[in-house]
Structure 1
Amino acid sequence: MSGESSKGSDKMFFIIFSILVTFSQASVWDNLTASIAVVEYQPVYNNVTSRDKVIANSVNYMTQMYEIRDKTKIDMIIFPEATLGNNPETAVEIEIGASCTTTTICVDAQIHAVPYTALMFQTYVVVNLVEKSKCDESDESQNCKDYGFHFYNTDVVFDRSGTIINKYRKYNLFGERELDQPEQPDQVIIKTDFGVTFGIFTCFDILFKSPAQDLLNQGVDAVIFPTMWFSEIPFLTAIQTQQMWAQTHNVTLFAAGANNPAVGSGGSGVYRGATGAVIRDVIAEGGTQFFIYESKNGEVAPLPSEDTDSLAKQMDGFYLKRDPSIDDYSSQILNTSATTDFQTELCHGNETNESQICCNFTIKMSVVKPETDLNFYTYHLVAYSGVRSYDGVYNGSIDVCAVIACLNSSLSSCGERFSKYEEVQWPVTFEEILVKANFEKTDNRTQYPNSLLSSIRPIDASKTVWNAVNVEDTGTNLIERSFSIAESQNRLLTFGIYGRNFDLDPANSNDDDDDDDGKGFATSIMISGYTHGIMLSFSFLLVVVTLK
């Protein structure tokens, strides 16, 4: 429901299993009766003070909470990252256990409308803001020397009584130079009275082992994921990333995304692990919308059918970044004119290189003659294992085996999208795709099933098969990953395996420098954001009067 407004003959196979298994927390979800909302929210951008922006967004949050309450009795509402307060100027102190009431302000007057409304509606609420924490006198970090405080990107959880029951400080910062990284990643657990135990992490954290993957060892039933994502093709658009993570780890993910199409931010959803999404959307033309996950005795409405072409047209004006590491990939053009059946191996690196990868592709396709007056994509098979830069703020090691759409035969055209969808034709239909590769089996390597359609949504997980087989090769324990389609596809932009090798992330891999690139989510969104046209300058007292 929505509101208005993821060789060799000496190998020995000794364990075979499928990632597409019965959902691991079935006892929790099969009998659950609860309603949980994720909000895709477009912040207020204007020229008033930072404090007035926080007040304006706080009131808008309150409005969303009223609209959600009008739809159904709600148990939890999740708001995205960096859309309430996103700089140290409006930072607040957070005390776990503090209670907000009609007469007591537990956080700060500028955002009191949020916990106060949570109290009125008797619902859990998750918000993201900038927290300040007093420094020890001996602390020589820059913010401590300049201000006497640490500043953190912090998720705050209020319970039904308006009490702060937990907080999570984002560990893997995306630039965000004005903020501090916690000394250690937190593993935050949130137990609710409706029976679901949540973990929580924020945005860029999803691409790292800690805290995101380590959190799963704590027995959580689901993960809360506030984010301000900047979508990048071919592998890391917002919904694509959310689904691949939930699918490979077989855990429910509640993702609330900030919305700003001008910088590529948008994409929210609810993903039931390996079984796929039940809610997913991006407000492509800008705006705010909530989505409600409703479970009644374990019964949940399936993902509605999607009109791929209609959604794709809406994405024409949505900014999409390009992964610059594509230029370093090994590549082979898929010859759609010579054959309809195709099988090959493509490698990157060499045997003496610990980051070598060999990808095996099996493809069956049917092709119609393209019209001369319309564009069509050229497909490349690609392989890569090595270090890439994430917007100049972090260097991380990735593994790639995939089929990707390109504008032409040049690798430099891959990761680009034709600007007008109505001028694109799709002469290639993939009847079968199987992508397979071996990886060292270790807790510090993870692989994800990764796909993308022209709508900038992934193929629904139920229409793919994601498998793993444990393999021994000359005394080395490997895992053979395979990803295949279960139904033919003819609007394909990406299909393959995307992996992270945390062992090969360079030491001190934060790649920040002193120029203006890579300032991170909190800063760039304010610079690139456009004016929302709302000028609000009023006191907290007026907010309380409105609530009453």
Structure 2
Amino acid sequence: MNYRAGVLHLQNKDISEYTRVIREAGNTDVDIVVLPSLDSVESSDKYDEIVDVISKTAKQASVYVAIHMYEKARCHLGYEVIRSNLVFDRKGDIISVYRKPQNGKANCTASPSELVTFTSDFGVTFGVMMEEDLALSNVEQLKGVKNFILTGDWQSEVPLLSAAKFAPSWSYTNDVNLVSTYGIYSGKAGLKTGSGSLVVADLQKDCENEVAAVPLVIAPENFLAEDLSLYVMKQLDLQASANGYTETICHRSFCCEFYVKTAKDVKTESTYNLATFNGVRPFGANHNVATQICVLSGSQNNVNFEIISITANFTKQSSQYPIVQSTAVLPTEAFNFEVKNNGVTEQVTLELENGKNIMNFGIFGKNANVDLEKDYVVEKNSTDKVESDFVEYFFNEDVQEFVDYLWIRLRVLIVVVSIYFLEMM
């Protein structure tokens, strides 16, 4: 069974453009369209107005609409800004709401931690996600769902984990359809291309594809490279690699085996590094991610890699993703990503033949099931830790209840004192 999805690629985020695209989606038989985040200030100040406009337009166009918005909500003694993913059905009714506090601490209006889903009238169950969920979720949390919508901006401190770069690998590894504001990905079949501000693609409900593609990110000129200062790394000897070059690089007992063979006419001014990382990376203000990474990383000079092969044994409880970033399209038939369970660990191999202009090529492993404080050394600035502990304490439910209790008592006291002074006058 097929359904038609659309995503909006638009730099000028304006509600009038959103309504135009929704109508265009309805005219092209799109079943569901995913819109990017509106400006946080505008959407929070005009939340009800924007919801009403989207609802009416979705009904007029008879199309499902998913949008990320910001709203202000009462939380204990004040207000907090909430990040919300809203899904409207063909009648304009809101059928799914997924919320998170923007500060990541208060929990007055947050959705439950389990995956938020809804089932459409065309028989497809969708999971609703925000960008950071790609890196923070694990396979068990997906509940066997094969179709996801992704919207909700998130600034990642780890370039490899930004949604624009990680979405192709996440869809490929989990073999699921991912309809995101960065593109439409269909599991092993990869990115569905299109033109114009509204990109449309037909997807198989069960993500069954006869063809496979490289989960590639085409890197722009202003590409933000991974910070390798935290890695154990060694510069690739391009002269030696013309005859085939083997290197093993380890970091905290985690080892990556590299084999690289380049064409004979390789440019000597090109620079590539082989790097390994095993530890905890900060992910936003409130999360740490246990990671194991093997990567070949370098400049975008015209280097022809005849063979790149990377193999490593990852923690058994982890999930592994291929990272492929280049300034050129890579051959699908010469790409291989294989995971073997050898009992204690997961042996993962990533291979590519005849690849050009490689920026990053490697394996990213994350473990969402470990106790970071117990299994890893999490280095924190002492001031940041004190501030973090205070915020966590202040937003603790018991503390909030106590503050509310004191406030009620104080108001009663104010009333009593006011009455007393009025009687004395």
Query: What TM-score bracket applies, with the shorter chain setting the length?
Result: 0.7 to 0.9
Q: Contact 1:91–1:132 (CA<8 Å) still a contact in 2?
A: no
Residue of structure 2 aligned with 1:278, choices 160, 171, 192: 192
Q: Contact 1:152–1:179 (CA<8 Å) still a contact in 2?
A: no
Distance 1:128 1:179, change over 3 A: farther
Using the alignment, how far apart are the partners of 2:345 and 2:25 within structure 1? 48
Q: Partner letter of residue 468 of structure 1? A: V
C-alpha deviation, 1:229, in angstroms: 4.9
Residue of structure 1 aligned with 2:34, choices 78, 81, 85: 78
Greater share of strand: 2
My pick for the range that moved more, 236-245 or 391-400, is 391-400
Give the structure 2 partner of residue 53 of structure 1: none
Using the alignment, how far apart are the partners of 1:385 and 1:193 within structure 2? 45
C-alpha deviation, 1:346, in angstroms: 1.2
Give the structure 1 partner of residue 393 of structure 2: none
For residues 421-469 of structure 1, the C-alpha deviation after alignment (integer angstroms, 9 at most, x for no partner) is xxx641x311111111112212xx21111110026xx857665211111
Q: Partner letter of residue 362 of structure 1? A: Y
Give the structure 2 partner of residue 216 of structure 1: 142
Q: Contact 2:35–2:151 (CA<8 Å) still a contact in 1?
A: yes
RMSD: 3.7
Residue of structure 2 aligned with 1:109, choices 43, 46, 49: 49
Q: Contact 1:40–1:290 (CA<8 Å) still a contact in 2?
A: yes
C-alpha deviation, 1:58, in angstroms: 2.2
Structure 1 SS opposite 2:110: coil
Would you say 1:243 and 2:129 are equivalent positions?
Answer: no
Residue of structure 1 aligned with 2:115, choices 161, 177, 187: 187
Q: Contact 2:158–2:283 (CA<8 Å) still a contact in 1?
A: no
C-alpha deviation, 1:250, in angstroms: 1.3
Q: Contact 1:330–1:348 (CA<8 Å) still a contact in 2?
A: yes
Give the structure 1 partner of residue 273 of structure 2: 380
Would you say 1:479 and 2:346 are equivalent positions?
Answer: yes
C-alpha deviation, 1:301, in angstroms: 12
Q: Partner letter of residue 119 of structure 2? A: K
C-alpha deviation, 1:388, in angstroms: 2.1
Distance 1:177 1:41, change over 3 A: farther
1:46-85 mapped onto 2 (5 Å cutoff): 57-70=14-27, 72-80=28-36, 82-83=37-38, 85=40
Structure 1 SS opposite 2:354: coil
C-alpha deviation, 1:35, in angstroms: 1.7
C-alpha deviation, 1:198, in angstroms: 0.7
Residue of structure 2 aligned with 1:494, choices 343, 350, 360: 360
Give the structure 2 partner of residue 414 of structure 1: none
Using the size of structure 1 for normalisation, the TM-score is 0.61
Structure 2 SS opposite 1:488: strand
Residue of structure 2 aligned with 1:162, choices 92, 100, 106: 92
Q: Partner letter of residue 479 of structure 1? A: E
Distance 1:144 1:463, change over 3 A: farther
Gaps of 5+ in 2: 386-425
Using the alignment, how far apart are the partners of 1:453 and 1:231 within structure 2? 20
Using the alignment, how far apart are the partners of 2:204 and 2:286 within structure 1? 43
Using the alignment, how far apart are the partners of 1:77 and 1:464 within structure 2? 31
C-alpha deviation, 1:323, in angstroms: 3.8
Larger RCO, structure (CA 8 Å, separation 6 or more): 1
Using the alignment, how far apart are the partners of 2:246 and 2:111 within structure 1? 48
1:257-272 mapped onto 2 (5 Å cutoff): 268-272=182-186
Give the structure 2 partner of residue 290 of structure 1: 198
Give the structure 2 partner of residue 395 of structure 1: 288
Give the structure 1 partner of residue 130 of structure 2: 202
Gaps of 5+ in 1: 1-30, 45-56, 93-107, 135-142, 257-267, 282-287, 350-355, 407-423, 515-548
Q: Contact 1:84–1:128 (CA<8 Å) still a contact in 2?
A: no
Structure 1 SS opposite 2:76: helix
Distance 1:479 1:304, change over 3 A: closer
Structure 1 SS opposite 2:233: strand
Distance 1:179 1:378, change over 3 A: farther
Greater share of helix: 2
Q: Partner letter of residue 404 of structure 1? A: S
For residues 347-399 of structure 1, the C-alpha deviation after alignment (integer angstroms, 9 at most, x for no partner) is 111xxxxxx3111112222142539xxxx531111011012233655432211
Distance 1:201 1:250, change over 3 A: same
Would you say 1:125 and 2:47 are equivalent positions?
Answer: no
The structure having more radius of gyration, on CA atoms, is 2
Aligned length: 376
Q: Partner letter of residue 145 of structure 2? A: V
C-alpha deviation, 1:402, in angstroms: 1.2
C-alpha deviation, 1:157, in angstroms: 0.7
Q: Partner letter of residue 336 of structure 1? A: L
Residue of structure 2 aligned with 1:361, choices 253, 258, 282: 258
Q: Contact 1:274–1:461 (CA<8 Å) still a contact in 2?
A: no
Using the alignment, how far apart are the partners of 1:462 and 1:509 within structure 2? 42
Give the structure 1 partner of residue 11 of structure 2: 42
Residue of structure 2 aligned with 1:329, choices 231, 235, 253: 231
Give the structure 2 partner of residue 254 of structure 1: 179
Give the structure 2 partner of residue 527 of structure 1: none
Q: Partner letter of residue 157 of structure 1? A: V
1:435-454 mapped onto 2 (5 Å cutoff): 435-442=310-317, 445-454=318-327
Q: Contact 1:366–1:429 (CA<8 Å) still a contact in 2?
A: yes
